Structure 1
Amino acid sequence: MNPRKLKRMAADIMNVGESKIWIDAAQMTKAVEAMTRDDVRNLIAQRIVRKRRDAQHSRGAARILHAKKVLGRKKGPGKRTGTKKARSQPKQQWVDRVRALRKTLRTLKTSGKIKGNYAQHYRKVKGNYFRGTKHLLQVVEGESK
């Protein structure tokens, strides 16, 4: 049988494309003698005709890109989609806000703008009462009036 016909028949039996079929060149004479589909199945069983493995995507380019991102490259304004808030994690936003509020509270306490109700404000910070430092300052100024 013509090797191209053999490939086509083997591809049909193995449910793959013709380009995925490999025929052992050393035993091509035995392969060419096959006439029926059953003969081709026997060649497959003898591993004279085999299915090629799928080509895998190389990770090399991805590794290089990751290494550059670790160094801080490829993160400029042209690469960014979504708002600043959308790109950051909600918990990290919370942590940053709480840290800023607590720092502001400490400065207000040391400057003497907050006297007896420091602990109350501290608990409000933990309870997510303040939207931000400006809101905290407004509340403190409102109490002092």
Structure 2
Amino acid sequence: MTNAVPKPVIEWLSAAIAAAAIVAFAVIFTLGVIQVWSAPSGTPPRYDEPFLGFATAIGAFVGGVVAVAFGVKPSPIPNQTILVRNLSSLGAVPSVRDELRPALGAVYAIVYVALGLAAIATLLVHPHELSDLVKNLATTFLGLALPIAGAFFSS
């Protein structure tokens, strides 16, 4: 007798967890950037340590998924562009159904890059109102940007 969870259940649960992580990342860091831009001059938003730790962990997780996934190069499929192949490999980090991989990969890449660039712009334009939350994302994104770009555009 086996207690194994059926593969489709694992795939859908993995996709749900991956989706929840990117949604949490998007909400937390979008609100963080908005709060900095809305803050009174010289008054950065403050967060308690447990929240900041959780947010930083989510940011590191999403950044790590993007960085690692673009470093994984599946076998090329004839007539498949580098973009589609790389987005498929990004979506493959969680164990999700094949048809969900490019969409999940695109969402992770677009959200991470957009919010990373927004955090850098916020750091440059509002240095005196910059929160630790946004500063953590900006510096982490800067550290991962070159390896991510290099892995993404390599064949």
Do the structures match in fold with TM over 0.5? no
Q: TM-score range by the shorter chain?
A: under 0.3
Which structure: greater strand fraction?
Answer: 1
Q: Which has the higher contact order (CA 8 A, sep 6+)?
A: 2
TM-score by length of 1: 0.22
Which structure: greater helix fraction?
Answer: 2
TM-score by length of 2: 0.21
